[in-house]
Structure 1
Amino acid sequence: MTPLPRPPAWAEPLPEAHPPAGMTVHHLPTGTYETRAALAVRGGSFRDKRQFAASAVLVRHPHGDLLIDAGFGAHVAEHVSMLPRLVRAPYRAGRTAGDQLDAAGHARDRLRGVLLTHSHWDHSSGLDRLPGTPIWMNAAERLYAATDPDGKVFRRVAQGHEVHEYGFDNHPYLGFPASFDVYGDGSVVVVPAGGHTTGSVIVFVAPPTGPRYAFIGDLTWQLDGIRRRVERPWLLSRLADSDRRQLRQDLLRIIALDGLMRIVPAHDLGSYDGVPLLTPDVATHPA
């Protein structure tokens, strides 16, 4: 197995950001499902079982909070039954993101929306416990979710939700040709990365203290893809990815940032280590 060529490390200053003092970032774990490393990353072993994370991330911001992905929902068993048998895996469901918000005393009227890195079931299932919360999607992912066979679960859980369609401007960001600055202060910036699905995105988050984050969705399923510079197994990539050439280009862009920020593949459980959980004392304190 030959790794991808090592890209030059990012040598320019990180983009300017002015996050407000009260902004915080929190991990909302909603469950896991099991797969073999050999099916997750090239060169992985069939003996190595990986617990894939299904999570949401809450960004608390004075101008309104945002969830990145939704994780597993209350009806995850039904959602798994809608998948082709080939891709079903043993799973363990925890509390939904919506239930965790409620348990912490988070005021739902503070939640501006759920920004999906993409619309696959394990990122959107939890919408079933977030009634009335807008779904933030770009036009390419909205079309993908409406038409692709892999969008069945999304189409089920998105019923009754308003879709807030955002676009990208022509401002490059960390090697990506376009971007969307959610709050206008550089604290949350979305870039297009349409290799896994046609409208997949990466969400860069710059809190006022601590490391910056790159929430990369399913650009790679495990951190091995970044650290070892390897892609998904060939067959899995053929089945799972919309544009393998685009995915490789974006993977190299993220590899160039390794060491400059925390890179969080959505399904790498260990990559969330250090991202604080949501607690009542935090949720009820103004951002």
Structure 2
Amino acid sequence: MALHHLPTGTYETRAALAVRGGSFRDKRQFAASAVLVQHPDGDLLIDAGFGADVAAHIKMLPAFVRAPYQVGRTVQEQLDAAGYSRDRLSGVLLTHSHWDHASGLDSLRGTPLWINADEQRYAAKDPDGKVFRLVSRGYDIREYAFADGPYLDFPSSYDVHGDGSVVIVQAAGHTEGSVIVFVTLPAGPRYAFIGDLTWQIDGIRRRAERPWLMSRLADSDPGQVRRDLDRMIALDGLMRIVPAHDLGSYDGIPLLVPEGAGRSR
């Protein structure tokens, strides 16, 4: 098994809008990234980052949520540059369906899309699912359910390979089908890819929720976000917790490079 960080760009926001108690003077570069989880039984991409048509996707958003952004290489471009065969990919697993996690689906067609029924229903009707509905057209949907019982303090889970290495739990507060993906490497740290449970690691380390107004605008169930945030705070120190948009939380996860080349971080 192995993990790789595939950064596709960033967009800018103020810390005061990201985490309760943040400063308006503190600008944060929000990551738009994917993570490749390599496993002998099939690889998975967690999220898809920015796509080739990200500029058009951003124009589909309400004007008040658009932000300055920087674009890097798409996931597909990085896979191609590394000589990675997409035949090895079992699917793209979204932590949730918001645009900055789904945009890169525009260039990954032919790979199955893994999504649970609650998130499919949410994405089909919610205004924030507009980009997802565009870029997911034509995808083979792999619907999974949480039938493997409790995991850590979460009441239900899905063990992807049946060996405990990749386990998905439902954390349905930010969106109705949001998930957290736990990855355990055979000889290394454990990781928790928590999507948008909190936008920045401050939410874990300072036990700080989103600002009240942002929570009301962004979260389907703020109370559930609070309960799941408490669960993850209790696990801090036992594993690497990676909020999807905290760029620094990806430090130490190697980039994807051609086989035989030196690894970059």
Could you tell me how far 1:209 is from its partner in structure 2?
Answer: 1.9
Could you list the runs of 5+ residues in structure 1 that have no partner in the other structure? Answer: 1-22
Match of residue 46 from structure 2: 68
Alpha-carbon distance between aligned partners in 1 of 2:7 and 2:74, rounded to the nearest angstrom: 8
Q: Give me the TM-score of the superposition, normalised by structure 2.
A: 0.97
Say if 2:13 is the partner of 1:35: yes
Could you list the runs of 5+ residues in structure 2 that have no partner in the other structure? Answer: none
Match of residue 98 from structure 1: 76
Could you tell me how far 1:282 is from its partner in structure 2?
Answer: 6.2
The correspondence of residues 229-244 of structure 1 with structure 2, limited to 5 A, is 229-244=207-222
The correspondence of residues 46-57 of structure 1 with structure 2, limited to 5 A, is 46-57=24-35
Give the alignment partner of residue 119 of structure 1, picking from 69, 78, 97.
Answer: 97
One-letter amino acid of the counterpart of residue 61, structure 1? H
One-letter amino acid of the counterpart of residue 221, structure 1? W
Alpha-carbon distance between aligned partners in 2 of 1:199 and 1:119, rounded to the nearest angstrom: 9
| Maintained 8 Å contact 2:157/2:168 | yes
Q: Give me the TM-score of the superposition, normalised by structure 1.
A: 0.90
Change in CA separation of 1:229 and 1:111 when aligned onto 2, cut-off 3 Å: same
Match of residue 134 from structure 2: 156
Alpha-carbon distance between aligned partners in 2 of 1:227 and 1:241, rounded to the nearest angstrom: 20
One-letter amino acid of the counterpart of residue 241, structure 1? D
Which secondary structure state, in structure 2, belongs to the residue aligned with residue 145 of structure 1?
helix
Say if 2:53 is the partner of 1:59: no
Which secondary structure state, in structure 2, belongs to the residue aligned with residue 47 of structure 1?
coil
Query: Percent identity, aligned pairs only?
Result: 76
Could you tell me how far 1:201 is from its partner in structure 2?
Answer: 0.1
Match of residue 263 from structure 1: 241
Match of residue 142 from structure 1: 120
Could you tell me how far 1:171 is from its partner in structure 2?
Answer: 1.1
Q: State the aligned residue count.
A: 261
Give the alignment partner of residue 88 of structure 1, picking from 66, 86, 92.
Answer: 66
One-letter amino acid of the counterpart of residue 206, structure 1? T
Match of residue 129 from structure 1: 107
Runs of 4+ aligned residues of structure 1 deviating over 2 Å after TM superposition are none
| Maintained 8 Å contact 2:96/2:177 | yes
The CA deviation string for residues 216-270 of structure 1, in whole angstroms up to 9 with x for no partner, is 0000000000000010000000000000111100000000000000000000000
| Maintained 8 Å contact 1:170/1:177 | no
One-letter amino acid of the counterpart of residue 194, structure 1? A
Could you tell me how far 1:30 is from its partner in structure 2?
Answer: 0.3
Which secondary structure state, in structure 1, belongs to the residue aligned with residue 194 of structure 2?
strand
Alpha-carbon distance between aligned partners in 1 of 2:163 and 2:148, rounded to the nearest angstrom: 17
Alpha-carbon distance between aligned partners in 1 of 2:119 and 2:37, rounded to the nearest angstrom: 22
Aligned Cα root-mean-square deviation (Å) = 0.9
Alpha-carbon distance between aligned partners in 2 of 1:170 and 1:253, rounded to the nearest angstrom: 19
One-letter amino acid of the counterpart of residue 77, structure 1? A
Alpha-carbon distance between aligned partners in 1 of 2:192 and 2:260, rounded to the nearest angstrom: 23
Say if 2:22 is the partner of 1:44: yes
Which secondary structure state, in structure 2, belongs to the residue aligned with residue 44 of structure 1?
coil
Could you tell me how far 1:56 is from its partner in structure 2?
Answer: 0.2
Which secondary structure state, in structure 2, belongs to the residue aligned with residue 26 of structure 1?
strand
Give the alignment partner of residue 220 of structure 1, picking from 172, 183, 198.
Answer: 198
Alpha-carbon distance between aligned partners in 2 of 1:147 and 1:105, rounded to the nearest angstrom: 38
